[in-house]
Amino acid sequence: MLSEGEKSPTADQVQFIRQASDNGNVRCKTALGGLYESGRGGVPQDFPKARSLYESVAAVDGVGYERLARMAEEGHGQVRNDVEARRLYQLALTNSDSDKSKLALARLMEEGRGGPQDLFGAMMYYVEASQHAGDVAWKGLQRIRAQRPVLTAEQVQRYNEAWGDTSRKSLNRTALDIEIALNKQIKRGSASKPVTLQVQGLSGSNVPKILLIESSGNAEVDQAVVTAFGQYRIPAEPLLPAGQDSWSSERSLKVGLN
């Protein structure tokens, strides 16, 4: 299925999208709306038709609201309206988990566009959308944290819960990628048990310290895992209590096992 940023579709692809859209296919309705909005694939630019198609799927697919929000924010076929954009991005997130919507809404909240400035709300969306250190969400978090916003204890707890979810997903994804990569290189049976590591994060740094907690029984396997995990970069930081400047998490990786 074609998406934003891809090259213009062929005439046959446009015909397929039109037919599927007419038959009620939600993704093709959204795709056809994108063609009308951009004027690609030989489809004449028509903002009202694009809007109508997005509206027809919005109730069942958050992408519809997301596209409508972007049209409002960028002024496509209408006067730019940040208030409407903010409202529509929020609607998009009621039935989707789109990082695009989270990032767009976070930026509006951070800048106080379309409503009051809400640094905490922006932080929540940025931390949920962050995938790796240095990405757009990570940079947004750094901007806000540099302002040292005053947060309540409840807000700190909510942020740290969201951070914990993001951190777990990031570490689990990294561990799985490393297992897959190293098991292609290391002979099966060369290790007797998983390698257990501790990932230590330090306040103000996205470079973790990797410690070997339990050996696999093979020093070469241990070193390969430690070295590979050493490339990991922290996607976001928790809000640590006064006097605490580090956090840690353990992961066990199955490399070289039978």
Residues 170, 126 share a domain: no
4-31 pLDDT, tens per residue? 556 789 999 999 999 999 999 999 999 9
**Assigned domain for 179 exists:** yes
Residues 120, 35 share a domain: yes
146, 170, 196: which is the final residue of a domain?
146
- The secondary structure of 41-94 as a DSSP string is TTPPP-HHHHHHHHHHHHTT-HHHHHHHHHHHHHTTTS---HHHHHHHHHHHTT
Residues 138, 20 share a domain: yes
**Assigned domain for 38 exists:** yes
The domain tally of the chain equals 2
Residues 223, 186 share a domain: yes
Q: In terms of Cα–Cα distance, which of 71, 61, 78, 62 is closest to 26? A: 61
Q: In terms of Cα–Cα distance, which of 108, 153, 112, 113 is closest to 126? A: 108
What span, in angstroms and rounded, lies between the C-alpha atoms of 117 and 11? 45
**Assigned domain for 214 exists:** yes
155-209 pLDDT, tens per residue? 999 999 999 999 999 999 999 999 999 999 999 999 999 999 999 999 989 999 9
Q: How many CB atoms lie within 10 A of CB 157?
A: 12
Using an 8 Å Cβ cutoff, are 90 and 196 in contact?
no
20-62 pLDDT, tens per residue? 999 999 999 999 999 999 999 999 999 999 999 999 999 999 9
What span, in angstroms and rounded, lies between the C-alpha atoms of 126 and 124? 6
Residues 241, 194 share a domain: yes
Range of the domain at 163: 156-253
What span, in angstroms and rounded, lies between the C-alpha atoms of 195 and 210? 12
- For residue 204, the model assigns a pLDDT of 87
At 128, which CATH number? 1.25.40.10
